[in-house]
Structure 1
Amino acid sequence: MSAELSGTTALVTGATSGIGRAAAIELARRGAKVVVSGRDEARGQQVVDGIREAGGEALFLAGDLSDAASARSLANRAKEQAGQVDVLVNNAGIFPVGPTHETSEQDFESVYAINVKAPFFLVAELAPDMASRGHGAIVNVTTMAAELGASGASLYGSSKAALTLLTKAWAAEYGPFGVRVNAVSPGPTRTEGTSGMEEKLKAIASASPAGRVGTAEEIASAIAYLATDAAGFIHGAILAVDGGRTAV
């Protein structure tokens, strides 16, 4: 265990699997008390148990993040049960793909609710408290699809593009009060959620300098870095962790 984040509490959304789970484990390894949040209590408790077995501190809070009320509720429950939130990782997201003309209004509402509205109101609830203490870190998880036009990715990519802009706007809004807001932008990453997309992941990765698919742990390492004081002079950055795909 490291002491980089000792004495801090981190709330990680979508932390029951994939990148979120890896981020929760990495933040705990660096000394943070982690509030693991997600919809599946059984999987969430497994993450908590694993962190505790490794000597870390964690607790699970359920949250579906389907609207502003659920986001505000999660933020307030995290403050009540953990004392305060020093690090917020907005990781929860859904990533449907398909033609624009086949996208229903319900699909649109669901994607923007989880990918944009939930982070917005979590920040609205937690950033002012961080600002009042003069210290805090917010890390948003976006995607390279927010920067590259791709057929079938109009809904998902546009929602994450909104989060990219919010990252910069929040950096300008809360940075002067000691709250750093940044984002990690993953490329093709192997997780439970992409398990049925192996060939597509490999095809995307083949066009990158790294030439391979990334791991959840590699994304988590970047998230944790942005949460630490080692990234103290980084505000409003979108850190590409995509094997160089958006660089070429």
Structure 2
Amino acid sequence: MADLKIPNLPRAFDLTGRVALVTGSTSGIGKGIALQLAALGAAVIVNGRSEARGAEVIAGITAAGARAAFEASDLTDATQCRQLVDRAAAHFGRLDILVNNAADTSRGDVRTTTIEDWDRIHAINLRAPFFLMQAAVPHLERQGGGVILNIGSVNAYIGEPKLTAYSSAKGGLMTLTKNAAAQLNAARIRVNQINVGWTLTEGEEKVKREQEGKGDEWVAEAVKTRPFGRLLEPADTAYAVAYYVSDAGACVTGSVMDLEQYPVGAPPAW
């Protein structure tokens, strides 16, 4: 029997020399992911709609001694998705990691979701990741492999009634993840997904107030339903991302991780 080899964890998570594109990374979960990857040594392409917010994220990354650049895009446009990947690879001469994080969480149930809302939500949450993946594959192949990580949601399984289109799109993304993983493993391209639970972000705060009419008490009320005494934070997802995109997860593909405080389908309070 061969000697048991215990990996050096700091070395396994080291991303020095690698380049990552993180969509929707000017705030919330995406910002947390971008900062985490930069802290592990990656050069990061920050993506979003606000150049001002992008500049703030890049300032934080460069102040810590890492490299970063900003690229704006409209992810409802398939052509812009493809162009975004090519521009990202051009910044630092390569692309090793694609994190599809950008999302639209607009509310709407079976009765109230409009055609426009349905199309936009699916364009951002499902169609854009596909075209970004498609554009990224040739770049990853040139490096002898790479990583695609999709940020999904626990709503992918059934979903809240008020998130009909969002849940549908995230369910499709989960199937796309496994389908792509089965195709791309021969090229040593790993494709995985993290289904994130209820996370406190600027975007969630805005939607709660503007679309659901919640007041200042909504966070305190939400926390009462959480087994571990708080909502998830962007850092929780960023830590999981570090595993999937680094050598720590070197042989993991087609995996879907439910990052939530109770098993999906179980009652929220015991």
Distance 2:180 2:112 in 1: 33
Question: Could you say what secondary structure the match of 1:101 adopts?
Answer: coil
Counterpart amino acid of 1:143?
A: S
Task: Summarize the Cα distance change of 1:234–1:209 in structure 2 as closer, same or farther, 3 Å threshold.
Answer: farther
Confirm whether residue 218 of structure 1 aligns to residue 236 of structure 2: yes
Counterpart of 2:259 (choices 237, 241, 245) is 241
Deviation of 1:99 after TM superposition, in Å, equals: 2.1
Aligned equivalents of 2:222 and 2:170: distance in 1? Answer: 18
The 1:202/1:181 distance shift into structure 2, 3 A limit, reads farther
Query: What displacement does 1:229 show?
Result: 0.5
Provide the rounded CA distance (Å) in 2 between the counterparts of 1:194 and 1:149: 16
- Residue 101 of structure 1 corresponds to which residue in structure 2? 111
Shift of 1:54: 1.1
Matched, 1:110 2:128: no
Q: 1:133 Cα deviation (Å)?
A: 2.8
TM-score by length of 1: 0.93
2:212 aligns with none
Q: Which amino acid aligns with 1:180?
A: R
Deviations 1:130-160 (A, max 9, x none): 1343220111000011113421121000001
Matching residue of 2:53: 43
CA distance in 1, matches of 2:72, 2:103: 15
1:19-59 CA-to-partner distances (Å, cap 9, x unmatched) read 00000000000000000011100000110011000111111
Distance change >3 Å, CA 151–CA 204, structure 1 → 2: farther
* 1:117-156 map, 5 Å: 117-156=127-166
Distance 1:147 1:241, change over 3 A: same
How many angstroms does 1:82 deviate by?
Answer: 2.2
Residues 1:230 and 2:240 aligned together: no
1:50-65 equivalences under 5 Å are 50-65=60-75
CA RMSD across the alignment:
2.0
**Contact between 1:10 and 1:32, CA under 8 Å: does it hold in 2?**
yes
Match of 2:184 among 174, 182, 189: 174
Letter in 2 for 1:136: G
Gaps of 5+ in 1: none
SS at 1:85's partner residue? Answer: coil
**Aligned equivalent of 1:86:** 96
Is the contact between residue 44 and residue 60 of structure 1 (CA under 8 Å) also seen in structure 2? yes
TM-score where L is the length of structure 2: 0.86
1:84-136 deviation line (CA, Å, top 9, x unaligned)? 11000000010111222221111111111111111100100112331343220
Partner in structure 1 of residue 175 of structure 2: 165
User: Which deviates the most, 176-185 or 96-105?
Assistant: 96-105
Between structures 1 and 2, the one with greater helix share? 1
Inter-partner Cα distance in structure 1 for 2:151 and 2:31: 13
Aligned positions, number? 248
Letter in 2 for 1:210: F
State the distance in 2 between where 1:9 and 1:33 align.
5
Aligned residue identity for 2:256: I
Conserved in 2, the CA contact under 8 Å of 1:202 and 1:213?
no
Distance, in Å, in 2 between the alignment partners of 1:202 and 1:184 is: 26
Of stretches 238-247 and 50-59 in structure 1, the one that deviates more from structure 2 is 238-247
Of 2, 15, 20, the residue aligned with 1:5 is 15
Identity within the alignment, %: 38
Contact 1:185–1:240 (8 Å) recurs in 2? yes
CA positional deviation for 1:61 = 0.8
The structural deviation recorded for 1:206 is 4.7
